[in-house]
Amino acid sequence: MAMITTIRVRTAIAMTTDARENFLPLLVWLSPSFPVGSFAYSHGIEWAVEAGDIKDAETCATWLTDLLNQGGPWSDAVLLAATHRAAEAKDDAALLAAAELASALSPSKERKLETLKQGDAFLLAVKNAWPCEAVDCFAKIWPHETAFPVAVGAAGAGHKIALDSVLEAYLLAAVTNLVSAAVRLIPLGQTDGTKVVARLTLLAREVATRAARSTLDDVGGAAFRSDIASMRHETQYTRLFRS
C-alpha cells in the first residue's frame, strides 16, 4: 500500500511539474514584450473614449465586461478553442474551418488588420523561437494571413499546453492590453487600471471555461457599440492606435 501511494504521489508531482513547465511559454507569448505589436491596437476603445462611452474606471470595466461576455474576445476564445482541439486531433478539415471563419469574421477593416497582423507576427516569432510540428503543419494547410486566436490555439496545442490555460491567459492578456490603451487615453491612472484588470480576472476565467465547451456554432455576440467604434475609428481625425 505504501509503495502504491508513493507511486501515485510521484506521478502527481511529475504531472504537476509538466503542467507548470508547459504553461511557461504563455507568460512570454502573451506578454506586452512579445513582438506582435499589441500595444498599437485599442479594439475601438480610442473612439469610445472620444465619444464619451468610456471615461473612467467604472465605464472601462463595464465596456470590457461586455466584450468578454459577448464581443470580440468571446468569439476569439471560441475560435481559439476550436483550433486547439483540431490541432491536437490533427484534424486538418477542422483547422481550416476555424482559420477561414476567423479570417472572415471581423466586422471592420481595422479589426481585421488587428487580428491578422498580430496572428502573423505571433506565428513568425513562435516558429523561430518555439518551433513545433503543429505550427509547421498548420502553415502548410493554411498559407494565408492568420487570425490571432487561431495562431495562439495552434501553438498552444503544439506545445501541449492545456486548453483552459491557453484560454485564460489569452483572455486576461486581451483585458490587460485594452486597459493599457484606456490608461493612455482617458487618462486612467495606473492604479485604477490595475484595479480594473483585477476586477475582470475572475470573469476572464469564467468565460474561458465556457469557451472550452464551445463549438464554432457559438461564435458571435451582441457588442454592437464596440463594432461601431471600430468602424468610426477608421475616420477619426486624430488617433494614437491602429484600431
- The pLDDT of residue 23 is 84
- Could you tell me if residue 163 is inside a domain? yes
Q: What is the pTM of this model?
A: 0.91
In a domain, 7, yes or no: no
**Predicted confidence pLDDT, tens digits, the chain (243 residues):** 444 444 343 433 333 444 445 889 999 999 999 999 999 999 999 999 999 999 999 999 999 999 999 999 999 999 999 999 999 999 999 999 999 999 999 999 999 999 999 999 999 999 999 999 999 999 999 999 999 999 999 999 999 999 999 999 999 999 999 999 999 999 899 999 999 999 999 999 999 999 999 999 999 989 999 999 999 999 999 899 999
What contacts 70, CB < 8 A, 6 or more positions away? 221, 222, 223
- Flag whether 164 is in a domain: yes
What's the CATH number where 120 sits?
1.10.4190.10
Residue 225 lies in a domain: yes
- Range of 217's domain? 23-233
The answer to the question of residue 1 being in a domain is no
Distance, CA of 141 to CA of 101 (rounded, Å): 15
In sequence order, which residues have a C-beta less than 8 Å from that of residue 145 and are 6 or more positions away? 103, 116, 119, 120
- Give me the pLDDT at residue 40, please: 96
Residue 6 placed within a domain: no
* Residue 8 resides in a domain: no
Nearest one of 185, 212, 201, 207 to 47, comparing CA atoms: 185
- Looking at the structure of the chain, the number of domains it has is 1
Residue 30, pLDDT score: 97
Question: What DSSP letter does each residue of 74-114 carry, written as one string?
Answer: HHHHHHHHHHHHHHHHT-HHHHHHHHHHHHH--SSHHHHHH
* C-alpha cell belonging to residue 97: 474551418
Which value, in Å, is the radius of gyration of the alpha carbons in the chain? 19
Measured CA to CA in angstroms, residue 215 lies from 61, 67, 76, 151, 161 at distances of 27, 19, 12, 17, 19
